[in-house]
Structures are given as C-alpha cells and as structure tokens.
Amino acid sequence: MRALFALFLLSGGLLADNEIFIDQTGDNAAIDIEQLGSSNIIGGLDATSGSMTKAILNGQSWTLDLNQIGSSNKFLTDGLYGDNFTGYFDFIGDSNEWEISIDPSNLNGADYLNMDIEIVGSSNTADLDFGEDSDVSYLDLDWIITGDSNEFELDLDSAYATNYMDILGDSNELTFTGSGYGSSANDAAYFYLDLEGDSNVMSITQSSTLARDWLKIESNTSNSNICIVQNDGGTSTSC
C-alpha cells in the first residue's frame, strides 16, 4: 500500500503567513506540498506559530514533491532519511531560505537518491548537506538555478554521485565541498557545472578517498572568480 500525504496551504490575504509543520515516518509515502505566497515556512512538528523548528521525514522508497512559490519563504529540514528517495523541488521567488539535510546522523542510511531542484529568483540562500556522518551513495542530483545574487552551500559526502548544476545569472556564489570513500579507484563522483553570467564566485573542493572525482565546467562568464581544489590525500592547498 502507498501512503499519500498532501498539504495545500494558500494565503488568504496579502499579510497572512502560512506555516506547515511536518514529522513523517513511514515507507512508500507520496508527499505533495504546494505553498503559495510570501513569508511562509515549512518546518518541524515541534514548532509553534512564529517559532519554527526543522522538519524530519523518514522512510523507505518515498517521494516528496514540493512547490514553494513566493518571496521571503523558508523550507527547513533537519533530516531526510531513507533509501530510494525521490525529491522534486520547485522554488520560485526572491529572498527565500532553504536548509536541507540528508541523513545527517546516519540514522538508517539514505542511498539511491534522485533529486531535481529548480530555482528561479534572486537573493536566495540555500544550505544543503548530504551525508554528514556517513556517505550518501548512488545520488543523482540535478539543479537549474536562474537569477542573480544567490548564495548556495553544498556539502556532499558520496563516492557514487552525479551532480549536474546549471547556474544562469550574475553575482551568484557557490561553495561546493565533495568527499567520500570508495572501495576502489573505479568509484567515481562526477560534478558538471554549466555557468553563464558575470561576477560570479565559485569555490569547488573535491577530496574523496580511493574514489575518482570528476569535474567538468563549461562557462560563459566575465569578472568571475572560480577556485578549484582536488585533493585525494596529498598536501593541503587552497586558492
């Protein structure tokens, strides 16, 4: 049996803020969330109105489809857990904030993940952590980011990951840190970046152990700063 959990909250007035509290446990869930408007929040069950904690979603073979459209919104999670997770994230608007952690405490693993993230807007901030205490294996991560003055921080611990990122806009900042441990040199983590726009700042570090880190960058940019460090156990270095 598949569990279906759907929430739809629409702002009834220009000054009305919506808040969704989530604490989900269970396998084969299909969760569909659509939140429209400004100054809205998605967070944890222990939150109270005006004071938000981070959401926990735990299960195997589950899907999250999230559309958050508007400005000054927040999506906060302290843990997405479980293997065979599929996530579709569609964020449209300015000055939004997202914090997403995947299996931060190695509670029950989070392997075989497929995530598509599309962001349209400016002055947004995102902090994503994949596997903090143990790697997240077999991750397929796809991004499309369109807008200016966005800040993204991505920490990825995985020896078997593909990360495709399109950044289209000016004055965007990306800090990417990739790590992981492979059983052989054939275990690869692949990062492909397509960058278009001016005055962008990209800081990319790949430091897996016994795994091949691949990086491909195609850019059409002026007045940008791109720093790349690949380190598989040699002397520490930086730009």
238 domain-assigned: no
Indicate if 12 and 125 belong to the same structural domain: yes
Q: Which of 134, 151, 183 is the last residue of a domain?
A: 134
Span 4-24, pLDDT tens digits: 343 434 333 333 378 787 778
Indicate if 71 and 171 belong to the same structural domain: no
Indicate if 118 and 201 belong to the same structural domain: no
239 domain-assigned: no
Which structural domain, as residue segments, surrounds residue 40? 1-134
Indicate if 115 and 149 belong to the same structural domain: no
Per-residue pLDDT at 179: 84
Residue whose token pair is 């004071």: 51
Q: Which of 82, 115, 134 is the last residue of a domain?
A: 134
Indicate if 37 and 129 belong to the same structural domain: yes
Span 189-230, pLDDT tens digits: 789 999 999 999 999 998 877 767 889 999 999 999 999 998
Per-residue pLDDT at 76: 82
- Which residues contact residue 18 at a Cβ distance below 8 angstroms, ignoring those fewer than 6 apart? 9, 10, 11, 35, 37, 40, 41
Indicate if 73 and 89 belong to the same structural domain: yes
Q: Which of 76, 101, 134 is the last residue of a domain?
A: 134
Per-residue pLDDT at 103: 74
Indicate if 120 and 148 belong to the same structural domain: no
Indicate if 11 and 126 belong to the same structural domain: yes
Per-residue pLDDT at 202: 96
Q: What is the mean pLDDT of the chain?
A: 82
Per-residue pLDDT at 216: 94
Indicate if 32 and 101 belong to the same structural domain: yes
